[in-house]
Amino acid sequence: METIRTDCLVIGAGLAGCAYAHYASKLGLSVVLICSDELSSGANSQWAQGGIIFDTSYHPEQLKKDIIEASDFTSNETAVDSLVQHGQDAVQALLLDELDVPFDRDPGGELKYTREGGHSNNRIIFSKDVTGRAILSNLHEHVLSLPNVAVQTGMVAVDLLTLSHNSVNPKDKYEPITCIGTYALDTNSGEIKAIIAKKTILATGGLGQIFQNTTNQLGVVGHGVSMAHRVGARVIDLEYIQFHPTVFLKKNCPLFLVSEAVRGEGGVLVNAAGQEFMDTQHPMKSLAPRDIVARAIHRELISSGDNCVYLDISSRSPDFIKDRFPSIYQRCLECGVDISKEPIPVAPAAHYSCGGVYTDINGRSSISNLNAIGETACTGLHGANRLASTSLLECLVSAKLTAEADSLDVASQAFHLPEVREWRSPDESPDEVLIRQDMKLIKSTMWNYVGLIRSSKRLHRARRILMELDDEISEFYAGNHLTSSLLNLRNAVKTALLVVYAASLNPTSKGCHYVAFEDEEIDMPEPESEELLK
């Protein structure tokens, strides 16, 4: 078995993982960054549309207030303070000064600002409706040029290595649980490699693909959460799954996100009869925090029997729409909807995990030398519901603070990094039909029983289905050689169970976790298409 050794192992190549590689490399650490696909695909941050908070007339107290209000007053203030303290400088130094990301500017060269749900002023900078792509294409190029960063694509993390479980020295089991890297599947050769590291950083993104309808990229099933949980790390707040209110939904068309910035620029939610329905729900109407808008749409769908509502941006001129939202305009047009003339059919879909691997603000999990950053981590910043456009900012800040803390540790501590046991795997190839069917069952169970509005009966049913499936999948996993789809399935069922456990243990409706009254109707809308976001 090939073994690779490094100071820092980063698992995931979204904004958090790549930003960590940048900061750690600047601090003189060696970094191996692994990701399952090409750098330019896979990660959710690549597809982020809205923008990132950065405001030259910065009011940290106001931002703090908005984050806490959006969270339904459940955020961890220490985490909120850290974000508002470090976010502004991180955007300036990395995105504006170092990478010169092409954010939209007015003719005088000043940054343009937009607004999203829950924000009390226009403080979000953006690059058209492809902010994630604009940031990451520059950052990927930058990371590939760093001399002490080795990027390995086509590598899927399998299981975290710990001293107690994987060392060849039996006496190491008496050590406290300490992470020393990961086994990783090289999807090109089919070989398993051991990557041994002083610090392991989980930056695997969220978990939306455990739900039938989602804005998340394929394969985003909570790999970090599931792997961390297997070695005994604390995971928290997993019941708080944020559903994005406006995802394009039309028969025989793929689902895709319609940015909240469309509402920020004047888009209004209406029902099939063209009537606004948010004005009776919240003073911020269509721009209320996401959990409120998503549930209001859901209730509207239940009462009307329709499976979508509409987002109407026709108050803006066609030229403005085409210039400000070129990608959304084009994708809708390909599906037969000209958004400069007609409203966009939308419905909520799973979007963001506010919970994750418990960490402090420096990325430390409950396991020594195992860190988590970005969406994989849960510092409590978002509490029960995330404020829009905080996620890219959190990726930068968590990456920076974690790299700085790691650099201090690496300079001052001794690390015991022994040889690890060989990986053994059966020769049998897994049956892809079984994998696909099991994945479908996980996603439909989560969608129907663990969706926007939950009940204890449905959570109970979901738990029983998923527990049985988990047993089947564990047996199947042990009897077959590894493929990336089998690893997805194994992590998906574990993550789904963790979400269901968290939801079942919390009877209190807050933010994204809403438990129905006894007689409340709670059906999730039927999906219009089998095809998911690519």
Listed ranges 19-27, 254-262, 313-321, 410-418: which one lies at the site for ligand SIN (CB under 6 A): 254-262
CB closer to ligand SIN, 50 vs 345: 50
Q: Which lies closer to ligand SIN via its Cβ, residue 37 or residue 260?
A: 260
CB of residue 259 vs ligand SIN: minimum separation in angstroms?
3
Q: What length does the chain have? A: 534
What span, in angstroms and rounded, lies between the C-alpha atoms of 197 and 33? Answer: 11
Which tokens sit at 282?
A: 């919240």
Nearer to ligand SIN, 34 or 258 (CB): 258
Diameter over CA atoms, the chain: 71
Among 203, 261, 349, 439, binds ligand SIN (CB under 6 A): 261
Burial class (CB in 10 A: 0-12, 13-18, 19+), 108: exposed
Has 490 been annotated as catalytic? no
**Of residues 264 and 525, the one with the C-beta less far from ligand SIN:** 264
Stretch that binds ligand SIN, among 8-16, 255-263, 401-409, 487-495 (CB under 6 A): 255-263
Single out the catalytic residue among 115, 290, 295, 331: 290
Give 17 or 289: the residue with its C-beta nearer to ligand SIN: 289
237 binds ligand SIN (CB under 6 A): no
Q: Which x/- pattern over 327-356 shows residues binding ligand SIN (rule: CB under 6 A)?
A: -------------------------x----
Please say whether the beta carbons of 2 and 193 come within 8 A: yes
Long-range pairs, 458-467, Cβ under 8 A, ≥24:
458/522, 459/500, 459/503, 459/504, 460/504, 462/496, 462/500, 463/497, 463/500, 463/501, 463/504, 465/441, 466/442, 466/493, 466/496, 466/497, 466/500, 467/497
Query: 370: buried, middle or exposed (CB in 10 Å: 19+, 13-18, 0-12)?
Result: buried
265 binds ligand SIN (CB under 6 A): no
We find the least distance from the C-beta atom of residue 260 to ligand SIN, in angstroms, to be: 3
Please choose, from the candidates 373, 377, 367, the residue with its C-alpha nearest in 3D space to the C-alpha of residue 237.
377
CA 168, 488, 484 angle in degrees (round to 5)? Answer: 70
Q: At what angle do helices 456-478 and 484-505 cross, to 10 degrees?
A: 150
Q: How far is the CB of 306 from ligand SIN (least distance, A)?
A: 22
Shortest distance (Å) from residue 332 CB to ligand SIN? 15
Q: Is 426 exposed, middle or buried (0-12, 13-18, 19+ CB in 10 A)?
A: exposed
What is the nearest approach in angstroms of ligand SIN to the Cβ of residue 290? 8
Q: What is the dihedral angle through the alpha carbons of 484, 489, 490, 496, rounded to the nearest 10 degrees?
A: 140
Tokens of 346: 């939308």
The distance of closest approach from Cβ of residue 382 to ligand SIN in the complex, given in angstroms and rounded to an integer, is: 11
Contact flag: residue 118 with ligand SIN (CB under 6 A): no
Position 260 contacts ligand SIN (CB under 6 A): yes
Query: For residue 239, what are its two tokens?
Result: 């019941």
Q: What is the distance between the alpha carbons of residues 29 and 20, in angstroms, rounded to a whole number? A: 11
Q: Identify the CA nearest to 401 among candidates 368, 369, 372.
A: 372
Convert residues 387-416 into a mask of x (bound to ligand SIN by CB under 6 A) and - (unbound): -xx-x-------------------------
Positions in 132-151 near ligand SIN (CB under 6 A): none
Is residue 259 part of the contact set for ligand SIN (CB under 6 A)?
yes
Q: Does 50 bind ligand SIN (CB under 6 A)?
A: yes
A 10 A CB-CB count for 303 gives: 11
Binding piece for ligand SIN, criterion CB under 6 A, among 10-18, 76-84, 259-267, 507-515: 259-267
Smallest gap from Cβ 25 to ligand SIN, in A, equals: 27
By CB under 6 A, tell whether 488 contacts ligand SIN.
no
Residue of this chain nearest to ligand SIN (CB atom): 50
Binding segment (CB under 6 A) for ligand SIN, from list 43-51, 196-204, 357-365, 427-435: 43-51
- Residues that bind ligand SIN in the complex, under the rule CB under 6 A: 48-50, 259-261, 352, 388-389, 391
Question: Which residues are tagged catalytic?
Answer: 290
